[in-house]
Structure 1
Amino acid sequence: MKKSILFLVFLLIFTNCISQTKFGNPEVDPVQIQKTYGSWSAYNKTLMLSRDFTALDASSKEISKEAFFNILVNENFIPIRLKTADSIYEYKLFKIQPKSDTSIKATISQEAFDALKNYEMEGKPFPKFLFKDLDGNEVSNETMKGKIIVIKCWYIHCAACIKEFPAVNALVAKYKDRKDIVFVSLAEDTPEQLKTFLARKPLSYSVIPNMKEYMNNTLQLNAFPTHFILNKEGKIAKVLNNYESLEVALEKESRF
């Protein structure tokens, strides 16, 4: 009987050890990366919570992305990527150090809040729409049926939105031969404002003006730019807040 109990205890310990070592080591030192806000901020830009990743808690147990985001929002943790192959992403939670800059916690909480909100939209139908772009073309759920739709939400005075224009224009050029992929942008500004602005800074997307109320009330956006990828069934495949994540997600969606 004692041997059986000892064996079970050993088995539990062994199993736990296996689960702890199943994943790699952190790619950066979780303590050192918190020494200054600048060092954390530079590293944080490489993480991109909107991408597909395996979520791990502080004990290396795999958890849902929803649970992962909630912990980042409500508790004192930061995410660190573990060492893996380039195409594999594993993010693990590490404790925020007591003397760390409070801006680290504030930043990651806000980003995780936005990431959770975006994640919860995935798989849901995109709200019904019927718009006209600056060229007078009708854009609606019906006219776009059976196509992958890439939607960029922005406004003229959003510096981050404008900064990515060259990159998103290059993305349009990359998929120019794919008739089943359409690029549409929703802008807060008036047609007159947009025509003047876009004459100086061209955007290769179809541009729809006067979308402030729709983006604020219907889509309930609070971060710009925001990118949506809709699948051919009209459902939201991904919601992203930067070009880098958009490029990766679109490449994946375009295979289907």
Structure 2
Amino acid sequence: MQKFISLITLLFIFTISTAQNKFGNPEVDPTQIQKTYPEWAAYQNKKIMLSRDFIALDASSKEITKESFLDQLANGNFIPVRLKSEESVYVYKLFKILPKTDTSIKATINQIGFDAYKNYKMEGTAFPQFSFKDLDGNLVTNESMKGKIIVIKCWYIHCTPCIREFPQVNKLTEEYKDRKDIVFMSLAEDSAEQLKAFLARKPLSYSVIPDMKVYMNESLQLNSFPTHFILNKEGMIAKVLPNFESLEVALAKESKL
């Protein structure tokens, strides 16, 4: 009887262990990555993209919703680490932040989690009503854009990460130039005069709409730049993204729908 109980116990432990490890081990040591803020920041910037589609696991390796995962990042005491998997499959797991970890790591993760959670909650909702005129005098409205995928970049002249993306987003518009059902436009905080002078030196292939600070602050409630939106053909927000890398992946997916 004793042997029978032991076998059941071992089988139970094996089953739990297998379930927890079916997604693979962490690609980095969760303890080591917390040693210094620069080490964590370098990993996070390169490997953690919370706007993409991913399988979410809590600290006990239980699969949870993306919403719950982001909520715990925003309000809890965790770092996200990617688990080893196929290149196209993303699995992120929560690991406890250790007591002696630099407090800057927790503060940064909470802010990133908050922004990602807010963006996630916007997905699936209607993009706020708009009627814009771009720098060339073209009128753009919700109605005129129906039936098209709209890619929107929100930025301003003195945003270094926003400007750093220009070569990449320009290349992206070139890749989709034959897709008449995809429109690229940008909302900028700056005045038309400032933008014309700036874009003469640093061209942007998107149509550019000036004086959008109030709209971005009040209607979109943005607090970080750049922010990219992908609207589907029904005018609904398909994705809200913080950088070009996430945008490229999401647009490739949306363009095939």
State the TM-score bracket (shorter-chain normalisation).
over 0.9
Q: CA deviation at 1:76?
A: 1.2
Which residue of structure 1 aligns with residue 193 of structure 2?
192
Which residue of structure 1 aligns with residue 67 of structure 2?
66
Which residue of structure 2 aligns with residue 16 of structure 1?
16
Q: CA deviation at 1:3?
A: 11
**Structure-2 separation of matches of 1:247 and 1:254:** 11
- After TM superposition, list the pairs within 5 Å mapping 1:92-131 onto structure 2: 92-131=93-132
For the aligned residue pairs, the C-alpha RMSD in angstroms reads: 1.8
**Residues 53, 88 of structure 1: 8 Å contact kept:** yes
Q: Secondary structure, in 3 states, of the residue corresponding to 2:85?
A: coil
Aligned residues between the structures: 256
- For 1:127, give the aligned amino acid: P
Which residue of structure 1 aligns with residue 44 of structure 2?
44
**Structure-1 separation of matches of 2:4 and 2:102:** 51
Q: CA deviation at 1:9?
A: 6.4
**Structure-2 separation of matches of 1:10 and 1:200:** 68
TM-score by length of 2: 0.95
Deviations 1:202-252 (A, max 9, x none): 100000011100000000001100000001111100000100000000001
- After TM superposition, list the pairs within 5 Å mapping 1:138-153 onto structure 2: 138-153=139-154
**Structure-1 separation of matches of 2:234 and 2:11:** 48
Which residue of structure 1 aligns with residue 253 of structure 2?
252
**Residues 150, 184 of structure 1: 8 Å contact kept:** yes
Deviations 1:19-64 (A, max 9, x none): 2122200000111111111111100012111111100001110001
- For 2:230, give the aligned amino acid: I
Q: CA deviation at 1:77?
A: 0.6
**Structure-1 separation of matches of 2:11 and 2:65:** 26
**Residues 230, 237 of structure 1: 8 Å contact kept:** yes
Q: CA deviation at 1:8?
A: 7.7
Q: Secondary structure, in 3 states, of the residue corresponding to 2:92?
A: strand
Which residue of structure 2 aligns with residue 229 of structure 1?
230
Q: CA deviation at 1:14?
A: 4.7
Q: CA deviation at 1:86?
A: 0.6
Which residue of structure 2 aligns with residue 182 of structure 1?
183
Unaligned runs of 5+ in 1: none
- For 2:153, give the aligned amino acid: K
- For 1:32, give the aligned amino acid: Q
Which residue of structure 2 aligns with residue 32 of structure 1?
32
Structure 1 residues 58 and 193, CA, compared in 2 at 3 Å: closer, same or farther? same
**Structure-2 separation of matches of 1:5 and 1:74:** 41
Which residue of structure 1 aligns with residue 156 of structure 2?
155
**Structure-2 separation of matches of 1:35 and 1:4:** 45
Further displaced range: 130-139 or 18-27 = 18-27
Q: Secondary structure, in 3 states, of the residue corresponding to 2:190?
A: coil
Unaligned runs of 5+ in 2: none
**Residues 74, 117 of structure 2: 8 Å contact kept:** no
**Residues 134, 206 of structure 1: 8 Å contact kept:** yes
Q: Secondary structure, in 3 states, of the residue corresponding to 2:18?
A: helix
**Structure-2 separation of matches of 1:155 and 1:21:** 44
Q: CA deviation at 1:75?
A: 1.6
**Structure-1 separation of matches of 2:8 and 2:119:** 43
**Structure-2 separation of matches of 1:69 and 1:4:** 43
**Residues 151, 183 of structure 2: 8 Å contact kept:** yes
Which residue of structure 2 aligns with residue 87 of structure 1?
88
**Residues 77, 96 of structure 2: 8 Å contact kept:** yes
**Residues 190, 209 of structure 1: 8 Å contact kept:** yes
